Amino acid sequence: MNLRDRWRSTSENILIPIGAVLASLVVFGIFCAVQGKNPIAIYGTIYQSAFGNSFSWQGTLIRAAPLMLTSLCTALPAMLGLTIIGNEGALIVGGLGAIAMGLALSSLPPIMVQIAMAMAGLIAGGLWIMFVGAIKYYRGVNETISSLLMNYIAIAVLNTLVEGPMRDPSSLNKPSSFPLAAVNMLQSIPNSRVHYGLIYGLVACAIAYFLIHRTTFGFAVRTVGGNIRAAKIAGLPVGKLTLIVTFLGGSCAGLAGMVEIAAIHGSANASLNADYGYSGILVAFIARQNPLVAVLVAVLMGGILASGSALQRSFGLPDATVLLFQGIVFLAILFSESLYGRLDFFKDREPEVKIDASATVV
Amino acid sequence: MTDDTLGWMSVPLAIVAGTFRGSAPFLFVSLGECLTEKAGKINLGLEGTLLTGAMTAYAVSYLTKSPWLGVLAAGLAGVGLGLIHAWLSQRPRVSDVAVGIAMIIFGSGIAFFFGKAFIQPKAIPLPVFELGNWSSYPQVQDALKISPLLLIGIVIAPVMQWFFSSTRWGLYVRAVGDSPSAARAMGISVVGVRTGAIVAGSFLAGIGGASLSLYYPGLWSERISSGQGLMAVALVIFARWQPIHCLWAALLFGGAQAIGPSLQAVGISSYRYLFNAAPYIMTLIITIATCSPRRTLSGSPGALGTNE
């Protein structure tokens, strides 16, 4: 690929998503105008409350942290050609594992508790999604559907545990588990209200990118994703790769559960089921399964989520406005997927035509 | 009469009542998903369609004082969302699973945005058939208040079965779902048939939403669908892509949903969430048991889950 082609493909990768976001801004703007609200003012508020100052940036980053982690639960298995949507379930069991560990070991030094909680989250979430990978490989069960079903099973397990065996009798209106000791909570980064979960998310995305794009393991995984039959002929251990990659994906979502429990909620309860899992799926798709791009998309999405209450306060719009905005942005970006490689603007014309002509003569 | 006079009989009775009350949305949304999947596409967005249908039905019934107009409007709202899904999911290199998830967000956004104004007012619910008047027990009378939508759904299931097995258009849908390239060779418009199937499926799901807000629980709130639209995907596998089995499966899922609350009514409250999860666990176990690594599920449309 020469420099010019590379420039074209890079500009395509940048301009198409930007175009999609602009298109969705126009559509949502028209919608707001029809509702009698000034779209420019609304966008100003969204921007202000998401990225306007350091306080709003912090709120955005707090929401972006779990999204980075849950998006990997879809992005990593996608390298193998698997469409996993069990992120929510993996997040919940990861959170449950973490709180169980945090409560059981509460007498140890905080750093040990932290590590044990993170490990418990990783392992619980990892095994949860590895089960999906296992039944896909050994029984041929569709991974999209089995992981979807397992989300509901995880929610039921969460509700059963926090209302039964794990319940703190003093939590009356909202059944919760016993709370974590304050010293064992995930601390904030100095001089901010952003917790260290953000670092977990950034590191996980960086590792995932390195693993997939810079190692032999990643190459093997991408080969299986590209053509499973060729991979088998080449002697790649498809089953083993499936188990490892689904475990890694699930463990990231499980870690997101640990982060939410240890940094935000402090105990397990129904709030753990806050749709970060489902949003993570979209982050992964929008980032086109690239873990580094997922970081950016997660921040953008965290910003949109963070602006919800401001829209309600300033414009008297329902808080669902943000949901609607999110939906429009996603649909526009998904549509833009189909434009890659099809717009004349990004095509290199002269050399290709000549090669085609000589090929037909031969 | 109180629960005491019926004693333990109140549990099976409550389950029967719950089955009749709770099955209609499952039935409609699973028939809609069945039609969509037969054509080879998955529509996870039916959860959003169910919510939009429920909100539209409630709003229109409240504003026009006619619940049946509400039902129609819910179906039409479903058609609107279905058109978006059909168009987007058939673009090259766009995953129907991703579109479905985006449509859940978009559909619930629409429903919650416009539904905010309708949480308080009381819409006119659908009339019911009271089939239990022969009994002197109020519980029995309550249990046999049947929604007309459930009856309509019970009629649609065998009709759809017949449609797939014995009509030309049914054959087109199956051909498109099993092998798009073969269908194209037969001169069938794959895009046209799929669009039709997705839109019609969405229409049914919208009506499923109407049965939530206009019959049971008979109000509009943001928590009303609680995942029933997504569950339809599981239900269709459970039913092996046979509309008539969708009927049995919807009754089973509706009944399973009632087990938890009815046990709670006689004082058994622990583990009710696990009872609620019973249908999912059951579906998962059955899927694992009946799949094999060499072939996909029997009855599964060939092009399902591929991006063909």
Nearest chain B CA: its distance from A138 CA (Å): 6
Contact between B233 and A152 using a beta-carbon 8 Å cutoff: no
Q: In chain B, what residues touch A135 (CB-CB under 8 Å)?
A: 288, 291
- CA closest to B287 among chain A residues: A141
A318 CB within 8 Å of a chain B CB: yes
Residue B302 is predicted with a pLDDT of: 82
B119 CB within 8 Å of a chain A CB: no
Please list the pLDDT of chain A residue by residue as tens digits (362 residues).
577 777 877 888 888 888 998 999 999 999 999 988 899 999 999 999 999 999 999 999 999 999 999 999 999 999 999 999 999 999 999 999 999 999 999 889 999 999 999 999 999 999 999 999 999 999 888 888 899 889 989 999 999 999 888 888 888 888 899 999 999 999 898 988 999 999 999 999 999 999 999 999 999 999 999 888 888 888 899 999 999 999 999 999 999 999 999 999 999 998 898 889 988 998 998 888 999 999 999 999 999 888 888 888 888 888 888 889 989 988 998 899 888 887 777 665 555 444 444 444 44
Contact between A141 and B291 using a beta-carbon 8 Å cutoff: yes
- CA closest to A145 among chain B residues: B234
Q: In chain A, what residues touch B106 (CB-CB under 8 Å)?
A: 324, 327-328, 330-331
Distance separating alpha carbons of residues A319 and A96, to the nearest angstrom: 29
A81 CB within 8 Å of a chain B CB: no
- The 3-class SS string of chain B reads CCHHHHHHHHHHHHHHHHHHHHHHHHHHHHHHHHHHHHCCCCCCCHHHHHHHHHHHHHHHHHHHCCHHHHHHHHHHHHHHHHHHHHHHHCCCCCCHHHHHHHHHHHHHHHHHHHHHHHCCCCCCCCCCEECCCCCCCHHHHHHCEECHHHHHHHHHHHHHHHHHHHCHHHHHHHHHHHCHHHHHHCCCCHHHHHHHHHHHHHHHHHHHHHHHHHCCCCCCCCCCCCCHHHHHHHHHHHCCCCHHHHHHHHHHHHHHHHHHHHHHHCCCCCCHHHHHCHHHHHHHHHHHHHCECCECCCCCCCCCCCCC
Nearest chain B CA: its distance from A20 CA (Å): 14
Share of chain B above pLDDT 90, in %: 53
Q: Could you report how far apart the first and last alpha carbons of chain A are, in Å?
A: 25
Nearest chain B CA: its distance from A126 CA (Å): 19
Which of A12, A73, A145 is the best residue to mutate to test the B interface, defined by the most B CB atoms within 10 Å of its own CB? A145
Give phi and psi for A97, each to the nearest 5.
-60, -45
Query: What's chain B's average pLDDT?
Result: 88
Residue A94 is predicted with a pLDDT of: 97
Q: In chain B, what residues touch A337 (CB-CB under 8 Å)?
A: 91, 93-94
pLDDT, tens digit (0-9, with 9 covering 90-100), for B164-206? 999 999 999 999 999 999 999 999 999 999 999 999 999 999 9
CA-based max dimension of chain A: 83
B283 CB within 8 Å of a chain A CB: yes
Which of A42, A331, A342 is the best residue to mutate to test the B interface, defined by the most B CB atoms within 10 Å of its own CB? A331
Residue A349 is predicted with a pLDDT of: 54
Average the pLDDT over B143-167 and give the result: 93
ipTM of the complex: 0.89
Distance separating alpha carbons of residues A249 and A129, to the nearest angstrom: 7
A330 CB within 8 Å of a chain B CB: yes
Q: In chain A, what residues touch B240 (CB-CB under 8 Å)?
A: none
Distance separating alpha carbons of residues A258 and A121, to the nearest angstrom: 5
Q: A residues 183-212 near B, CB within 8 Å?
A: none
B52 CB within 8 Å of a chain A CB: no
**Residue pointed to by tokens 């508020």:** A45
Nearest chain A CA: its distance from B137 CA (Å): 34
Residue B2 is predicted with a pLDDT of: 46
B99 CB within 8 Å of a chain A CB: yes
Is the pLDDT at B214 greater than 50? The verdict is yes
Which of A67, A83, A142, A276 is the best residue to mutate to test the B interface, defined by the most B CB atoms within 10 Å of its own CB? A142
Which of B37, B94, B280 is the best residue to mutate to test the A interface, defined by the most A CB atoms within 10 Å of its own CB? B280
Query: A212-223 burial string, b = 16+ CB within 10 Å, else e?
Result: beeeeebebbeb
Residue B258 is predicted with a pLDDT of: 82
A112 CB within 8 Å of a chain B CB: no
3-state secondary structure of A188: strand
**Residue pointed to by tokens 């044990």:** A116
Residue B5 is predicted with a pLDDT of: 60
Residue A144 is predicted with a pLDDT of: 87
Contact between A327 and B109 using a beta-carbon 8 Å cutoff: yes
Amino acid, single-letter form, for residue A1: M
Q: B residues 14-33 near A, CB within 8 Å?
A: none
Q: In chain A, what residues touch B26 (CB-CB under 8 Å)?
A: none
Query: How far does CA A28 lie from the centroid of its chain?
Result: 24
User: For A331, which of B88, B273, B281 is closest by C-beta distance?
Assistant: B88
Is the pLDDT at B41 greater than 70? The verdict is yes
3-state secondary structure of A38: coil
- CA closest to A151 among chain B residues: B280
Distance separating alpha carbons of residues A279 and A70, to the nearest angstrom: 8
Structure tokens at A346: 């990004």
Q: Are the C-beta atoms of residues B181 and B52 closer than 8 Å to each other?
A: no
pLDDT, tens digit (0-9, with 9 covering 90-100), for B112-140? 999 988 988 888 888 888 888 787 887 77
Q: In chain A, what residues touch B112 (CB-CB under 8 Å)?
A: 318-320, 323
Half-sphere exposure (Cβ direction) of A141: Cα atoms closer than 13 Å: 28
B110 CB within 8 Å of a chain A CB: yes
Residue B68 is predicted with a pLDDT of: 95
pTM of structure: 0.88
Task: Give the single-character DSSP code of A302.
Answer: H
Contact between B42 and A144 using a beta-carbon 8 Å cutoff: yes
Q: Are the C-beta atoms of residues A209 and A295 closer than 8 Å to each other?
A: no
